Amino acid sequence: MDEEPALWQRLWAYAETQDLHLDATGQSKIQTYSRTLLRFRNAVSLVRFEGLEELLFRHVADSLAWAAQVGHGASVVDVGTGAGLPGLVAGAARPDLTVDLVEPRERRVAFLREAVRAMQVQNVRVLQFRVEGLNRQEQYDEAVSRATFAPNAWKRLGQGLIRGQGVLWAMLSRDQADRLVAEDAALPEEFVHYVLPDDRRRSLWKIGHPHKA
């Protein structure tokens, strides 16, 4: 029995639990992304997963949980995006966003450009830079990094990418978030906690000033 349709339905239902409604176009783009990643995964080192279920419930769902938190119409940069997680998934789910994917490695950039082409997303750009090479004159409403930098290193590095009232996001395991709080109980920033469909406990570290409508 083909289990794939049931996996997609579970993913769409999970998005709804995060207050993120995906229309048919958004669903189709995310399916195209996932199938493109499955096709490329043996040729390019992108992200670890065993099969479609782990890809959807560990990686894509995590990206959707973050996408649900981003302010309406925001300009976003995803630094060290790798396979396009979370920025490319967010751009597919949220056509109101404008998303820059920043990735220095050539083979990953080639995958990202192919995925953007296949998905026909018009609101996503791929930039081949290290974060230090970004034009700091082009600041963003929100910036995110997932599994690229240590949390406090990303806080220092990312602050220069966002406008005065912008938001910096770090995507963390719940254990990482708990350690940050244990080290500094007076942290002024806030955490958004959530559980993925595979029962992994995750946290978003929100640094800066919220502007979400």
Q: What is the mean pLDDT of residues 183-199?
A: 86
pLDDT in tens, 10-53: 999 999 999 999 999 999 999 999 999 988 876 566 677 778 99
For the stretch 178-185, contacts whose Cβ atoms lie closer than 8 Å and that sit 24 or more positions apart, written own/partner, are 180/151, 180/205
pLDDT of the residue at 184: 80
Q: Does the pLDDT at position 192 exceed 50?
A: yes
| Residue 1 in this model has a pLDDT that exceeds 50 | no
Q: What is the pLDDT of residue 41?
A: 76
pLDDT reported for residue 43: 58
Phi, psi of 139 (to 5 degrees): -95, 165
Joined together, the tokens standing for residue 104 give 């220095």
Q: What pLDDT sits at residue 164?
A: 83
Residue (of 136, 47, 44, 31) closest to 84 by Cα position: 47
Q: Would you give the distance in Å from CA 48 to the centre of its chain?
A: 15
Q: Phi/psi class of residue 80: alpha, beta or left (left: φ > 0; alpha: ψ in -120 to 50)?
A: left
DSSP bridge partners of 100? 77, 125
CATH of domain 4-208: 3.40.50.150
Q: What is the pLDDT of residues 112-154, one digit of tens each?
A: 999 999 999 999 999 998 877 665 657 899 999 998 899 989 9
Q: What is the mean pLDDT of the chain?
A: 90
> Lowest mean pLDDT: which of 17-31, 81-95, 148-162, 193-207?
148-162
| pTM of the full structure | 0.92
Sequence-ordered list of residues with C-beta below 8 angstroms from that of 55, at least 6 positions apart, any chain: 34, 37, 38, 49
Q: Tell me how many degrees the CA angle 8-11-16 measures, rounded to the nearest 5.
A: 130
Dump pLDDT digits (tens) for 55-77.
999 999 999 999 999 999 999 99
Range of 88-102, 135-149, 164-178 with top mean pLDDT: 88-102
Return the number of other C-beta atoms located less than 10 Å from residue 149's C-beta.
17
